[in-house]
Amino acid sequence: MSVPEQDPGKRPARRVRYAGTHPRKFHEKYKELARDRYAADVEKILKSGKTPAGTHRPIMVNEILQVLAPQAGERGIDCTLGYGGHAQKLLRAIQPDGCLLGIDADPIELPKTEARLRSAGFPAETLIVQRTNFAALPGLIPALLPGGADFLLADLGLSSMQIDDPARGFTFKVDAPLDMRMNPARGSSAAEFLAKIDQRGLAQLLVDAADELWAEPLASGLIAAQESSVIVTTGQLAEAVRKVLAKIGSFDEEDVTSTIRRVFQALRIAVNDEFSTLDILLKSIPQCVKPSGRIAILTFHSGEDRRVKKAFQAGLASGVYREISSEVIRATPQERHDNPRSIPAKLRWSIRSSS
132 within a domain of the structure (yes/no): yes
- Claim to verify: residue 100 and residue 245 sit in the same structural domain: no
- Claim to verify: residue 344 and residue 280 sit in the same structural domain: yes
Does the structure show a pLDDT above 60 at 5?
no
**CATH number of the domain where residue 348 is located:** 3.40.50.150
Asked if 66 and 355 count as a contact pair (C-beta separation under 8 A), the reply is: no
Task: Convert the pLDDT of each residue in 252-262 to its tens digit.
Answer: 999 999 999 99
Does the structure show a pLDDT above 70 at 73?
yes
- Pick from 50-59, 92-101, 220-229, 242-251: least confident: 50-59
pLDDT number for residue 154 = 97
User: Amino acid letter at 227?
Assistant: E
309 within a domain of the structure (yes/no): yes
Task: Convert the pLDDT of each residue in 110-135 to its tens digit.
Answer: 999 999 999 999 999 999 999 998 88
pLDDT number for residue 50 = 55
**CATH number of the domain where residue 222 is located:** 1.10.150.170
Task: Convert the pLDDT of each residue in 274-316 to its tens digit.
Answer: 999 999 999 999 999 999 999 999 999 999 999 999 999 999 9
- Claim to verify: residue 105 and residue 239 sit in the same structural domain: no
- Claim to verify: residue 266 and residue 296 sit in the same structural domain: no
Give the whole-angstrom CA distance, residue 141 versus residue 2: 60
Q: How far is CA 108 from CA 62, 72, 233, in A?
A: 28, 31, 21
pLDDT number for residue 3 = 45
- Claim to verify: residue 67 and residue 148 sit in the same structural domain: yes
Which of 253, 272, 291 terminates a domain? The answer is: 272
Cβ contacts of 176 within 8 Å, gap of 6 or more:
166, 167, 168, 169, 233, 234, 235
310 within a domain of the structure (yes/no): yes
Q: What is the largest CA-CA distance in the chain?
A: 80
Confidence of residue 30 (pLDDT cuts 50, 70, 90): very low
3 within a domain of the structure (yes/no): no
- Claim to verify: residue 177 and residue 208 sit in the same structural domain: yes
Confidence of residue 350 (pLDDT cuts 50, 70, 90): very high
Rg (CA), the chain: 22
- Claim to verify: residue 237 and residue 283 sit in the same structural domain: no
Annotated binding site: 84-86, 104, 134, 155, 162
User: Amino acid letter at 84?
Assistant: G
User: Amino acid letter at 262?
Assistant: R
3-state secondary structure of 102: strand
31 within a domain of the structure (yes/no): no
- Claim to verify: residue 81 and residue 69 sit in the same structural domain: yes
pLDDT number for residue 164 = 74
Confidence of residue 42 (pLDDT cuts 50, 70, 90): very low
Q: What rounded mean pLDDT belongs to the chain?
A: 88
Q: Identify the domain containing residue 243 by its residue range.
A: 166-272
Does the structure show a pLDDT above 90 at 13?
no
- Claim to verify: residue 222 and residue 251 sit in the same structural domain: yes
Decide: residue 328, CB within 10 A, 0-12 exposed, 13-18 middle, 19+ buried. middle
pLDDT number for residue 56 = 62
Does the structure show a pLDDT above 70 at 20?
no
Which of 65, 180, 183, 63 minimizes the C-alpha distance to 132? 183
- Packing angle, helices 215-228 and 199-210, rounded to 10: 130
Annotated binding site for S-adenosyl-L-methionine: 84-86, 104, 134, 155, 162
* Percent with pLDDT over 70 in the chain: 84
Q: How many domains are there within the chain?
A: 2
pLDDT number for residue 29 = 46
Q: How far is CA 144 from the centre of its chain?
A: 24
Task: Convert the pLDDT of each residue in 143-178 to its tens digit.
Answer: 999 999 999 999 998 776 677 778 888 888 889 999
Which of 251, 272, 293 terminates a domain? The answer is: 272
305 within a domain of the structure (yes/no): yes
109 within a domain of the structure (yes/no): yes
User: Amino acid letter at 164?
Assistant: D
pLDDT number for residue 55 = 62
End-to-end CA distance of the chain: 74
117 within a domain of the structure (yes/no): yes
Asked if 175 and 233 count as a contact pair (C-beta separation under 8 A), the reply is: yes
Which of 122, 155, 208, 141 minimizes the C-alpha distance to 345? 155
- Claim to verify: residue 211 and residue 267 sit in the same structural domain: yes
Task: Convert the pLDDT of each residue in 178-236 to its tens digit.
Answer: 999 988 888 999 999 999 999 999 999 999 999 999 999 999 999 999 999 999 999 99
- Claim to verify: residue 318 and residue 181 sit in the same structural domain: no
Give the whole-angstrom CA distance, residue 275 versus residue 222: 23
The DSSP line for 250-289 is: ---HHHHHHHHHHHHHHHHHHHTTHHHHHHHHHHHHHHHE
* Percent with pLDDT over 90 in the chain: 72
